[in-house]
Amino acid sequence: MIVAASAPLTVVAGGVTTSFAVTGSLGVPLGFLLIAVILTVFAVGYTAMGRFITNAGAFYAYVAQGLGRPLGVGGSLVALVAYNAMQVGIYGLFGFQLSAFIEAKTGFASPWWVWVLLCIVVVGVLGVNRVDLSAKVLGTLVALEFVAVILFDIVSFKTAPEGISTAALNPSALFGPALGIILVFGVAAFMGFESGAIYGEEAKDPKRTVPRATYLAVALIGLFYAFSAWAFSVGIGPSQIVAASQESGPDLMFVFMTDRTSVIISDIMSILFITSLFAALQAFHNAVARYLYSLGREGVVSHKFSHTSKAGAPWAGSVAQSVIALVIVVGFALAGDAFGGAEAMFGDSAFLFPVLTMFTWLTNTGAAGLVLLMSLTAFAVIGFFRKRPAKLSVWTTVIAPALSGVLLAAMFVAILANFPLMLGQKEPDLTTFLLPGLIIAAFVIGVVWALVLRAKSPKLYSQIGHGTEPGAYGTAMIDVVGVEEVGAP
């Protein structure tokens, strides 16, 4: 689930080329390694805290128990906005890519939103079933993505117009003026990092498997992306990769493979690019559903969201996420198609409307929110172990969380500072401030709502962030079912 959310083929085809194009630097491969190191340091305290907390709300529960319930609720609303933004934003790119591919191969021109609406149904159906069904589907798709990218890497090294150059691995390429921008664009490739803890309640042995999955995923993602970004620079040529990325963007990989292999292989990779987006959609959908389940169980939002299907999946949260996606997609479709909004905004580039608005706006907003959440969670680790001393090292409980928290906070500030660049804007406009403002507003509203709950319902307030502990809402019902199943009176 963690790797599916990061969408390997999408990152290599789209994220790597975008980073090269926007930063104008060869330091992109080392940028992935540096982010992986930062997240590994973050994971030291994060996974240690996870041994004491198993909650589908993950970051929300961690912040609530480490920094206090008001900040926890604030973080939970940031998570809902961020994960929904990431998920719905990806729909824009998915619809555009699928529509464009079908038109290129068959001549049939179809609105991008038609395929998105169909995809929402499929994602929703998988979302209300057991998580292992989604895992099997996504596991297959992710495995095929890795095969496709590895094939591309092999062809790149075989082509190597300037030889097997290590120019992109020179530290001076990273540690220069473009360092901050490289990290800002690279961190989006690791979104979904929290997923391991989100599925803790559904794992057979979360105390062991969640830390293992978290470390394995960040190491695999970091090394794989760094190696593939280096391969990209070798295949195109270090002196040409920036200009080629600026000219062709995400199509560069597929154009390269068509020229060096065959149209069939390029088409297969294009299809896998689309399924890569689908895998990410499913992973983020599941994350939103489980957040709503956790919040509903504890009464932060309606208790109806705590309902699960016979298979154990949080169906109420899943349906709610599908409805949110449907409403937003319809809104963008009406703005872009029905009223000629795309032509008015982008002129000849109107066909890119779902990519330039829905995908770009929402995914960058989501990435900003998740980086903020990770920073809060890092500091929450320090607060948690200060209140609950454990036989763990100072490195685990203080130094590593503090270091990663400061670095992630700096990265969040860098994202806000470079937001116009991330949106492809020459000059700031309303969206420059409105979109990140949604993250800040969600956090403030959450804090205020927690204070209201403290005044109106102290008992409910006391359960915030403690949904799986004895006596919490929903736990007693689970216990009763368990007793009945073994035949006790």
Number of domains in the chain: 1
Q: At CA 14, angle to CA 13 and CA 19, rounded to 5?
A: 115
* Res 382 pLDDT > 90: yes
The pTM of the full predicted model, rounded to 2 decimals, is 0.84
Joined together, the tokens standing for residue 207 give: 């105390």
At residue 398 the predicted structure's pLDDT band, cuts being 50, 70 and 90, is: very high
Work out the percent of the chain whose per-residue pLDDT is above 70.
87
The pLDDT of residue 480 is 32
Q: Distance from CA of residue 451 to its chain's centroid?
A: 29
Chain-wide mean pLDDT for the chain?
Answer: 84
CATH (domain of 432):
1.20.1740.10
Residue 29 sits in which domain range? Answer: 2-485
> How many angstroms separate the CA atoms of 328 and 354, rounded?
12
CB 134 within 8 A of CB 5: no
Check residues 343 and 151 and name the one with the higher pLDDT. 151
Tens of pLDDT, residues 99-144: 989 998 999 989 999 999 999 999 998 888 766 666 777 788 888 8
CB 282 within 8 A of CB 435: no
The one-letter code for the residue type at 401 is P
